[in-house]
Amino acid sequence: MASPFDGWPIRVAIPVGLVVSLLVVWALDRPNGRWSARLRKRFLLGVPWGTLVSVTFVVGVYLFVQHGWEHWRNPVTVAFASWSYLYPLGVVLGPFSHAGPGHLLGNVTSTLAVAPLAEYYVGHYPTRRGEQSFGSWRTNPWLRAFVVFPLGVGVVGLCTSLFAWGPIIGFSGVLFAFIGFALVRYPLGTVVALSAQGVVQTVYQALQNPLVVQGASASYSKPWWFGIAVQGHALGFFLGVVAGLLVLRFRDRATPPALRTWTGTLLVATSLSLWALWWYRGVETYVLFRGLGIVFVLALATLVTFAVRTHDATSFGPGARQAGTVLVFVPLIVMAGVAAPVNLTTVQGDGNVEGATGVQVRDYTVLYAEDVPNQKVSVVDVSVGGETTSVDTSGVIVVNEGREVWTREVTKGQLAFAGRRAVRVGGVGWAETVFARRIGWSAVGGGAAYQVWLRPADDGWRHAYASDPATADPVVAGMNVSIVPADDPRKNPFRLRLTNGSTTVASRPLPTANVTVSAEGVQFTRENDVVYARVDDTRVRVAKKESYN
């Protein structure tokens, strides 16, 4: 039965309600009209054109370069991350590409909320005494709105790609630069703008799905903080603060009170998880340095407050102003110094994993392997505080030596949960999909035995991996029962093996549904997806076929 709270009527009601609300506000404020006059004073026709041009470009990259138009929820990502200085395409497009629709939506809505505040700080019209609009190209409001501001966004994006530690993908570095830039002049206004981001995103989601009905279900998830590019966010933030200080100094404006700047910085840095410092710890295990992250955020708020406040020429001398600027430059210099050796990397050897069988898609190799060194994380092996940069990884791995790509795109746990996953590879102008599939059996109390296959979109399945055997806990007629991946998985992927100590007593193909096989006086019967072992009148369950979500 259709609900009155779903479909086009409610989708129309949302924008109509928004327009009506804004009209009421405009009517109440009409006697003085200060807010609209302020917008027209700083913006061409009162519109933040530079923000809109930048967002349009980012969305265009997702739709047409990453092939998001064809596969909205599964764009090509491996070709458009900043893997290395030796891969210029990734360095240029990484800051403007995204890993998926949620990633894109979060960055775009946040940018629409806070970037206009940063653009308002810059303005489309000259503010120095004696300067007039259209007096030169630098004072031309059309160029400032449609060229200069978007060009500045592009430069900041390239800086986040060049000087962040390790590969990045996403516009969030530029977003944090907007935030740092706006905080210098409007600290509490930035807090309010970021709060508005939640409203923008909620309205968008309401237009997409006005009615949501959902029940409890199993899911596979990593920690929420896994994958946050804190180093890229921090770099963008410092770039924005430095740019904001330069504009402040150029225009010789009064600075906000110290308490206001400190409060705004602390609230923004905490709410945007700049404290979420994390690292890998083995296969699918990660560590969050929450305490250290809070200390970092407090130091960040203090540093920004000092740098901004000392730019007040009426309260502090030139020496204090220079000290404040230098202190903010120090983190940028340190990050750039670390980034150079980290990002000037190459895939070790030919990037392939010894013993692994993969499929070839043009210049990409897609393979499955377990407990192999991550050849991109462990560029330089460093151990600090018990943590190390040399870690092992397991899952579906994508290798492209020419593009400096070596990345695990699907974890072992994700494939075990879903049973089947798709990996998109490609480049500018082309994209293809490789499917990964896992079939396995769980031995009662003894883990799982499984096989993994890979298949390009235009070809058949190819066997890629066989796990170790899994031994069930029950002992049957004095023998252990194991599920063993078969040597020839095309006929029957698994066998039953009976062992006495280290000696193999018997081996039989795993029975098909509702079939019984016998070995050494033991009858093995498969009932649907469960295998039972029977000796005389005793029957025990020894294995169950894996089920996936």
349 lies in a domain?
Answer: no
Q: Where are the alpha helices (DSSP H) in 275-370?
A: 290-309, 318-343
Q: Judge whether residue 444 has pLDDT over 60.
A: yes
**pLDDT given at position 513:** 87
Q: Judge whether residue 14 has pLDDT over 90.
A: no
Provide the pLDDT confidence category of residue 327 given band limits of 50, 70 and 90.
Answer: confident
Q: How far apart are CA 316 and CA 336, in angstroms?
A: 30
The CB density around residue 461, as the number of other CB atoms within 10 Å, is 14
Tens digit of pLDDT for each residue in 496-541?
999 998 899 999 999 988 899 999 999 999 998 999 999 988 999 9
Provide the pLDDT confidence category of residue 62 given band limits of 50, 70 and 90.
Answer: very high
Based on its alpha-carbon atoms, the radius of gyration of the chain, rounded to whole angstroms, reads: 29
Q: Which residue has the higher pLDDT, 134 or 102?
A: 102
For the whole model, what pTM was predicted?
A: 0.85
- For 240, the enclosing helix (H) or strand (E) is helix 230-251
Q: Could you tell me the residue range of the domain that residue 8 belongs to?
A: 1-31
Q: Within its chain, how far is the Cα of 333 from the centroid? A: 25
**Whether 417 and 453 share a structural domain:** yes
Contact by Cβ (8 Å): 278, 225? yes
Three-class SS of 109-159:
HHHHHHHHHHHHHHCCCCCCCCCCCCCCHHHCHHHHHHHHHHHHHHHHHHH
3-class DSSP assignment, residue 229: coil
351 lies in a domain?
Answer: no
**Whether 22 and 42 share a structural domain:** no
Q: Report the mean per-residue pLDDT for the chain.
A: 85
**Whether 433 and 512 share a structural domain:** yes
Provide the pLDDT confidence category of residue 449 given band limits of 50, 70 and 90.
Answer: very high
**Whether 44 and 12 share a structural domain:** no
**pLDDT given at position 278:** 79
Q: How far apart are CA 273 and CA 167, in angstroms?
A: 20
Contact by Cβ (8 Å): 422, 397? no
Give the tokens for residue 422: 């798709």
Contact by Cβ (8 Å): 57, 149? no
**pLDDT given at position 283:** 64
Q: Within its chain, how far is the Cα of 401 from the centroid? A: 23
3-class DSSP assignment, residue 420: strand
H helices, E strands: number in the chain: 14, 20
**Whether 234 and 323 share a structural domain:** yes
Tell me the average pLDDT across 486-505: 87
Beta-strand relationship, 462-466 and 470-476: unpaired
Contact by Cβ (8 Å): 214, 288? no
Q: Which amino acid is at 173?
A: G
- For 145, the enclosing helix (H) or strand (E) is none
**pLDDT given at position 12:** 81
Percent of the chain with pLDDT over 90: 46
**pLDDT given at position 229:** 82
From the list 186, 202, 178, 241, the residue with the least C-alpha distance to 48 is 178
**pLDDT given at position 510:** 92
Query: Considering its fold, how many domains does the chain have in total?
Result: 3
Q: Judge whether residue 448 has pLDDT over 90.
A: yes
Q: Which residue has the higher pLDDT, 530 or 125?
A: 530
218 lies in a domain?
Answer: no
**Whether 270 and 397 share a structural domain:** no
Q: Judge whether residue 159 has pLDDT over 60.
A: yes
Q: Judge whether residue 385 has pLDDT over 60.
A: no
Query: Following CA atoms 128, 131, 133, 139 in sequence, which dihedral angle do they give, to the nearest 10 degrees?
Result: -70
Q: How far apart are CA 129 and CA 147, in angstroms?
A: 23
Tens digit of pLDDT for each residue in 344-366?
776 665 556 777 788 999 999 99
Tens digit of pLDDT for each residue in 187-230?
988 998 888 877 877 887 787 777 777 776 666 677 877 778 88
Residue 537: what are its φ and ψ, rounded to 5°? Answer: -100, 10
**Whether 317 and 365 share a structural domain:** no
**pLDDT given at position 473:** 94
Domain boundary among 288, 310, 343: 343
**pLDDT given at position 156:** 95
Give the tokens for residue 477: 């007629």
**Whether 161 and 298 share a structural domain:** yes
**pLDDT given at position 368:** 95
Tell me the average pLDDT across 51-74: 95
CB pairs under 8 A, 24+ apart, for 503-509? 505/479
Look at the chain and count its residues: 549
Domain boundary among 343, 369, 391: 343
216 lies in a domain?
Answer: no
DSSP state of 493: S
Domain boundary among 314, 343, 372: 343
**pLDDT given at position 524:** 94
**Whether 378 and 500 share a structural domain:** yes
350 lies in a domain?
Answer: no
353 lies in a domain?
Answer: no
217 lies in a domain?
Answer: no
**Whether 27 and 39 share a structural domain:** no
495's CB contacts (< 8 A; 6+ apart) are 483, 484, 486, 507, 508, 509, 510
**Whether 375 and 426 share a structural domain:** yes
Tell me the average pLDDT across 242-260: 83
**Whether 113 and 8 share a structural domain:** no
Q: Which residue has the higher pLDDT, 139 or 304?
A: 304
**pLDDT given at position 316:** 62
Contact by Cβ (8 Å): 239, 153? no
Tens digit of pLDDT for each residue in 30-60?
656 666 777 778 788 888 999 999 999 999 9
3-class DSSP assignment, residue 7: coil
Q: Judge whether residue 79 has pLDDT over 90.
A: yes
Among 127-131, 307-311, 414-418, 427-431, the range scoring the smallest mean pLDDT is 127-131
215 lies in a domain?
Answer: no
**pLDDT given at position 225:** 75
Tens digit of pLDDT for each residue in 164-191?
888 889 999 999 999 999 999 999 889 9
From the list 256, 124, 229, 255, the residue with the least C-alpha distance to 175 is 229
Q: Which amino acid is at 66?
A: Q
**pLDDT given at position 220:** 67
